[in-house]
Amino acid sequence: MKRLDLKDLTLEELKKAVLDLGEPGYRALQLSSWIYKRGISDPETMSNIPLKLREKLFNHYYLSCPEISGHQKSIDGTEKFLFKLFDGKFIESVLIGSEDRRTLCLSTQVGCKIGCRFCASGKGGFKRNLSSAEILNQVLHAKETAGSGLTNYVFMGMGEPLENYENLTKALVIMNHDDGIKIGARRITVSTCGIIPGIERLSTLGLQINLSLSLHATEDRLRSSLIPVNRKYPIKDLIEACDKFRKSKNRVITLEYLILKGINDTRSDSKRLASIANSLGAKINLIQYSPVRGAGFPETTHEEALIFEKCVRRFCANVTVRESKGKDIAAACGQLAGRSA
Ligand code: SF4
């Protein structure tokens, strides 16, 4: 029988696994404490779990541990981790620092089906979804590296999180749960290119997480050419779904907007962007485009970003230019490709 990874079980399933072995339920709490609070993957270390239970348990289950195949540090302090998965595939996560926060950018898929024109993650096609264990391992590894300095968690790495809904939400619940990693839901952001059914399901999930929408264009024709899934989920429907999310969670939505020189940075674009943000009470993050090989878009300079910001600000005050970090190690927005060195 194929053994299962304990990190792929919900905390309820972990308890059931312990009960099914004829052991008291509190052993599940002891296990989750070793796995998620102390980040331990070696059963030998779990000193308060009787040897007999460990033997029985690990006949049926195992505990994966992150295998780091590469670690790069940018001149601006951004760190990129390359994880080798059990089947030889690779994913990346990025640790981004600023004065008052350290943010972990997490991947949810190997590759991506969506194929946004400006993004490296979709260029090699879609390989597979990450399991919840593989998502959680990125978090546990970063916590071990950054310790208590880690403040925010964003699902903006490789893949479209809402295309891997089940494993994403299982990981989210464990991340947030008191008996799991215990990260405040408000510190967690799920970013989507606009998968409406996923946004609707996320609205009903009992976690006060944040939603970020990768908008990048304000008219369907342009957006569909940049983000093909826009043909299925056009802007108007997307705004409606985001509005429902905002009302269900009482959280401010963020609109991510990559500035693509000569493509989506006209005065009309700025006006439409502001209007969408105002209708949603959303904040706007403008992002300087960092080059991706083969994408064919030029890099956006900081000056160009500031000019566009000024245009947007005339119509909407809640706008900032997000500093592009880690581009010298291909760790900036849209540059993650999961390549081994
Ligand atoms: S931007 Fe996101 S959704 Fe689009 S291809 Fe890249 S990873 Fe996929």
Cα torsion angle, 218, 220, 223, 229, sign:
positive
Q: Confidence class of residue 2 from pLDDT cuts 50, 70 and 90?
A: confident
The two beta strands, 79-84 and 68-73, are antiparallel
Q: Quick: pLDDT tens for 85-142.
A: 999 999 999 999 877 889 999 999 999 999 999 998 878 889 999 999 999 999 999 9
Q: Average of pLDDT values for 30-56? A: 94
Question: Ligand 1: which of 113, 119, 165 to mutate, most ligand atoms within 8 Å of CB?
Answer: 119
> What are the residues whose beta carbons fall under 8 Å from the beta carbon of 178, sequence distance 6 or more?
none
Conformation bin of residue 182: beta by default, left when phi > 0, alpha when psi is -120 to 50: left
Atom of ligand 1 nearest to the CA of 159: 7
Atom of ligand 1 nearest to the CA of 113: 8
Nearest CA to ligand 1 atom 7: 159
pLDDT at position 339: 67
Q: Is 194 in the pocket of ligand 1 (CB under 6 A)?
A: no
Mean of all residue pLDDT scores within the chain: 94
d(CA 321, CA 305): 7
How many whole angstroms from 192 Cα to the centroid of ligand 1?
Answer: 8
pLDDT at position 208: 95
Q: Is 119 in the pocket of ligand 1 (CB under 6 A)?
A: yes
The proportion of the chain whose per-residue pLDDT surpasses 70, expressed as a percent, equals 99
Atom of ligand 1 nearest to the CA of 119: 6
- Of 174 and 338, which is predicted with more confidence? 174
d(CA 333, CA 341): 19
How many whole angstroms from 110 Cα to the centroid of ligand 1?
Answer: 11
Q: Average of pLDDT values for 20-35? A: 96
Q: Is 111 in the pocket of ligand 1 (CB under 6 A)?
A: no
Give the range among 4-13, 230-239, 300-309, 318-327 with minimum mean pLDDT. Answer: 318-327
CA distances from 306 to 196, 225, 284, 286, 288 (A): 31, 25, 13, 9, 10
How many whole angstroms from 10 Cα to the centroid of ligand 1?
Answer: 27
Q: Quick: pLDDT tens for 47-66.
A: 999 999 999 999 999 999 99
d(CA 137, CA 153): 13
Give which of 188, 231, 226, 196 is closest to 213, Cα–Cα. 196
Atom of ligand 1 nearest to the CA of 120: 6
Question: Ligand 1: which of 129, 130, 160 to mutate, most ligand atoms within 8 Å of CB?
Answer: 160
Catalytically active residues are 92, 333
How many whole angstroms from 179 Cα to the centroid of ligand 1?
Answer: 32
Nearest CA to ligand 1 atom 4: 116
pLDDT at position 341: 42
pLDDT at position 225: 97
Asked if 69 and 84 count as a contact pair (C-beta separation under 8 A), the reply is yes
Asked if 276 and 239 count as a contact pair (C-beta separation under 8 A), the reply is yes
Q: Is 228 in the pocket of ligand 1 (CB under 6 A)?
A: no
Asked if 60 and 20 count as a contact pair (C-beta separation under 8 A), the reply is no
d(CA 224, CA 98): 33
pLDDT at position 340: 54
